[in-house]
């Protein structure tokens, strides 16, 4: 005889029937201080996310008790900023741990869908010039359109046979290629690269390279460290500076490039799910990549709303595989000529 199988709703078991949406937690019932300490962001920022993502998160569902966009967003922010699906987080907003997981997935995909809206290079001439001026004001390095670097985010092993995500420290990770402006706003974020790939290979294969070689401005460049090859659009430091001009160039390069290093540290500080202190991201590489990108989108939105993430103290364990690379020098004669001209024109 066939035995009927009942599909149980975790939230239904916990809270019973009644409302159509799970709205036990109300933003207006708590202080901004509580919201910042628990979910990482103040009330008005959360309201903005509800307006931005509400339609997507309210898509029709067969579930009799859909979770409201507001509750989904709080659940996701709680995970991003704490790195944990702890029961207390779900209890605070009245949902189960299983529902917490679904909320994180829903909000992550909604943010990823909007990544190009918030992460992009400026296009009009005035904005591009402003970008260069801001960088020049840091240390006198002209023509800079962005600073680029890679960062590793630790993930669970996809499977025993796949070694492509094992980095140089022997742990599974994503190698994420990031570019930011002088304020730390991300201009590009490619979060899907396997951890086994060195930074130079990631850049070689990245969409960013195609952009700069075929589309973007020919009168400026990115700044990258010595893990990258010198290119006509990517200025790297000199391996062994010998002249005063070369020393000045390297010092200006280092002071300017420091912006991306600082930005990556503070993203990890705010979004603790990325910093390794709570363990690895327990998702497939694709889903983990989307979580990293969602945090990047939130980082840019927070800067747009005047939330200075650099003012937040860096706390916790920052698990970040250091890239062990050999100094790389380009054989691109045109790139060498451009860097030499930069030295003579601005640093002699």
DSSP letters, 108-129, are HHHHHHTHHHHS----SHHHHH
- The CA angle 193-275-312, to the nearest 5 degrees, is 125
The two three-digit tokens of residue 261, written as one number: 């290093």
Orientation of helix 69-82 relative to helix 43-57, angle to 10°: 120
**Where does 216-284 have alpha helices with state H?**
244-270
Residue 68 and residue 45 in contact, taking contact as beta carbons nearer than 8 Å: no
Q: What is the mean pLDDT of residues 284-305?
A: 96
Q: Is the pLDDT of residue 274 over 80?
A: yes
Mean pLDDT score, 272-291: 88
Q: Which residue has the higher pLDDT, 217 or 4?
A: 217
List C-alpha distances in Å: 116 to 55, 102, 188, 191, 264: 18, 24, 9, 14, 19
Distant-in-sequence contacts of 97-106, Cβ < 8 A, 24+ apart = 97/10, 98/10, 99/10, 99/11, 99/22, 99/67, 99/75, 100/75, 102/67, 103/67, 103/71, 103/72, 103/73, 103/75, 103/76, 104/75, 104/76, 104/79, 104/80, 104/291, 105/287, 106/57, 106/72, 106/76
Q: Is the pLDDT of residue 78 over 70?
A: yes
What is the reported pTM? 0.86
pLDDT per residue as tens digits for the range 217-249? 668 999 999 999 999 999 999 999 999 999 999
Indicate if the pLDDT at residue 93 is higher than 80. Answer: no
The whole-number average pLDDT for the span 17-42 is 71
Mean pLDDT of 159-184: 91
Angle at the Cα of 333 from the Cα atoms of 330 and 338, rounded to 5 degrees: 95
Closest to 304 in 3D by CA, of 118, 170, 138, 145? 118
Residue the block writes with tokens 């140089």: 168
* Dihedral of alpha carbons 301, 303, 307, 309, sign: positive
| pLDDT bucket at 88, cuts 50 / 70 / 90 | low
Contact call for residues 39 and 27 (beta carbons, < 8 A)? no
What residues contact residue 340 under an 8 Å CB cut-off, 6+ apart? none
Name the percent of the chain lying above pLDDT 70.
80
Classify 298 as helix, strand or coil: helix
- The answer to whether 227 and 325 are in contact (CB under 8 A) is yes
Question: How many degrees, rounded to 5, is the angle at CA 183 between CA 182 and CA 184?
Answer: 95
In this structure, the dihedral spanned by the alpha carbons of residues 27, 32, 38 and 43, taken in order and rounded to 10 degrees, is 50
Report, as an integer, the average pLDDT of 39-56: 93
Nearest to 135 by CA among 185, 100, 87: 185
b (16+ CB within 10 A) / e for 209-243? beebeeebbeebbbbbbbbbbbbbbbbbbbeeeee
Record the tokens describing residue 270, joined without a space: 């705010």
Hey, which of 91-100, 257-266, 267-276 has the most confident mean pLDDT?
Answer: 257-266
């Amino acid at each position: 005889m066939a035995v009927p199988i009942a599909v149980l709703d975790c939230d239904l078991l916990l809270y019973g029937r009644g409302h159509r949406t799970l709205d036990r937690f109300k933003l207006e019932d708590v202080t901004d201080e509580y919201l910042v300490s628990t979910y990482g962001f103040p009330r008005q920022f959360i309201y903005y996310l509800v307006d931005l993502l509400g339609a997507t998160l309210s898509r029709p569902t067969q579930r009799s008790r859909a979770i409201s966009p507001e509750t989904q967003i709080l659940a996701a922010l709680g995970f991003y900023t704490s790195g944990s699906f702890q029961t207390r987080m779900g209890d605070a907003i009245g949902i189960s741990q299983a529902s917490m997981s679904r909320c994180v997935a829903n909000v992550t995909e909604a943010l990823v869908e909007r990544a190009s809206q918030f992460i992009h290079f400026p296009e009009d001439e005035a904005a591009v010039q402003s970008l260069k001026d801001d960088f020049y004001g840091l240390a006198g390095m002209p023509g800079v359109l962005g600073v680029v670097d890679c960062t590793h985010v630790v993930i669970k092993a996809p499977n025993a046979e796949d070694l492509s995500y094992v980095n140089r420290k022997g742990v599974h990770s994503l190698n994420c290629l990031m570019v930011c402006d002088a304020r730390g706003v991300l201009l590009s974020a490619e979060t899907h690269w396997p951890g086994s790939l060195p930074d130079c290979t990631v850049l070689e294969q990245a969409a960013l390279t195609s952009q700069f070689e075929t589309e973007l401005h020919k009168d400026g460049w990115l700044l990258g460290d010595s893990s990258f090859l010198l290119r006509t659009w990517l200025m790297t430091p000199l391996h062994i500076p010998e002249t005063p001009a070369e020393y000045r160039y390297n010092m200006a390069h280092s002071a300017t490039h420091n912006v991306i290093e600082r930005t990556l540290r503070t993203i990890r500080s705010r979004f603790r799910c990325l910093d390794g202190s709570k363990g690895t991201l327990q998702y497939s590489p694709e889903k983990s990549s989307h979580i990293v990108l969602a945090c990047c989108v939130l980082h840019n939105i927070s800067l747009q709303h005047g939330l200075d993430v650099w003012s937040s103290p860096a706390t916790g364990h920052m698990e970040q595989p250091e890239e062990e690379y050999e100094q790389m020098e380009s054989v691109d004669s045109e790139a060498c000529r451009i860097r030499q001209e930069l030295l003579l024109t601005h640093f002699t």
